[in-house]
Homo-oligomer: A and B are copies of this chain.
Amino acid sequence: MERVITLAHGDGGELSYELVQEVFVKAFGNQKEAMFDSALLQIGSGKIAVSTDSFVVKPIFFPGGSIGKLAIAGTVNDLAVSGAKPLYLTCGFVLEEGFPIKDLKQIVTDMAAEANKAGITIVAGDTKVVERGSCDGVYINTTGIGLVTEELQPTFEAGDAVIVSGSIGDHGIAILAARGELGISTPVNSDCASLNTMIAGVTSETNQVRIMRDPTRGGLATTLVEIAEDFSLTIVLDEEAILVKDEVHGACDLLGFDPLYLANEGKVIIIVPAQEKECVLEVLHSFTEGKDAVCVGHIANTDKGQLLLQTPLGVKRPLHRLSGVMLPRIC
């Protein structure tokens, strides 16, 4: 049987990873850079960070944001977590014939507002139109360029603290509820937000950040599995410490989702030495986007790549990449 793309290839989990390995890394070279959506590049005497992301979220307007706001914040955050100051952004639109121009205006107004908030300049754009039925309204690609002022050095030690800037799963549940397909009407706003100012606050306070990542598709668990595998770390998550809003918890119970695997669009994971933990939390707490920041785990050792969930009963359960769960078009 012919092998074809499935929705699970796009959910940021196990199959997404396999597709990147099998198709893209194989063709584009096995440089580590080609595997990530962000890369650090030498330009003349300086270094820049570049990140690209396509947005296909459904619906295009949702509580807490829109595809426009998300397209800016998502790329700004990818740059910021790589340790770069976001400077410039391009946007490419694929529009469906029949798409209302007033909706397009609202989307670009949201983009302009979020770009302004994040201090990034939209410098180039492109628009393509496809026939009715050939895309679902609008898809947006944004590619961002940032200046790397200080490169993070991901060298870890046992005892390092794993900090998350707030509650998890808000974006995933907000989108699912907004679709109205699931019979739930949870009053949860997406956490969609540009985090570059808050992240710059952290890196100006300490130069000992090991790594930062934004736990988007695949959620907190998948992102931490990737870090654990890339750097051969045993990361232990403390289930009780992880913040999940009651509404998100309720929706997850009802629908059978695990908040650890739900997308976030306004959260950052920061790993720092234990002695920097309180200082980083203090900085995060001074920002609206980080007021609920909390330490959710630690690095237990640095010889094996695995993520363990420590439950309230003391059991340590291994967690893997998101696998086979289908929440298409969450971002």
Q: Is A135 an interface residue (CB 8 A)?
A: yes
Q: Which residues of B contact A10 (CB under 8 A)?
A: 95, 127-130
Once the chains bind, are A5 and B129 in contact (CB under 8 Å)? Answer: yes
- So how many copies of this chain end up in the complex? 2
Once the chains bind, are B95 and A94 in contact (CB under 8 Å)? Answer: no
Q: Is A176 an interface residue (CB 8 A)?
A: no
Min distance, Cβ A324 to any Cβ of chain B, angstroms: 14
CB nearest to A51 among chain B residues: B124
Q: Which residues of B contact A44 (CB under 8 A)?
A: 43-46, 147
Once the chains bind, are A126 and B54 in contact (CB under 8 Å)? Answer: yes
Once the chains bind, are A43 and B48 in contact (CB under 8 Å)? Answer: yes
Whole-angstrom CA separation of A96 from B56 in the bound complex: 11
Once the chains bind, are B41 and A145 in contact (CB under 8 Å)? Answer: yes
Stretch of A83-91, A234-242, A267-275, A283-291 that contacts chain B: A83-91
Once the chains bind, are B56 and A128 in contact (CB under 8 Å)? Answer: yes
Min distance, Cβ A82 to any Cβ of chain B, angstroms: 10
Once the chains bind, are B24 and A125 in contact (CB under 8 Å)? Answer: yes
Q: Is A112 an interface residue (CB 8 A)?
A: yes
Once the chains bind, are A7 and B131 in contact (CB under 8 Å)? Answer: yes
Once the chains bind, are B6 and A94 in contact (CB under 8 Å)? Answer: no
Whole-angstrom CA separation of A127 from B23 in the bound complex: 11
Partner of A134, one of B28, B91, B124, B135: B135
Q: Is A201 an interface residue (CB 8 A)?
A: no
Once the chains bind, are A124 and B5 in contact (CB under 8 Å)? Answer: no
Q: Which residues of B contact A92 (CB under 8 A)?
A: 52-54, 92, 141, 143
Once the chains bind, are B108 and A23 in contact (CB under 8 Å)? Answer: yes
A12-52 to B contact mask, C-beta < 8 Å, 1/0: 00001001100110011100011011110101111010111
Q: Apart from A4-B99, A27-B111, list 19 A-B contacts with CB within 8 A.
A: A2-B101, A4-B97, A5-B97, A6-B129, A19-B101, A20-B125, A24-B125, A28-B108, A41-B123, A43-B43, A50-B90, A51-B90, A52-B143, A90-B143, A92-B141, A128-B331, A130-B136, A131-B329, A141-B143
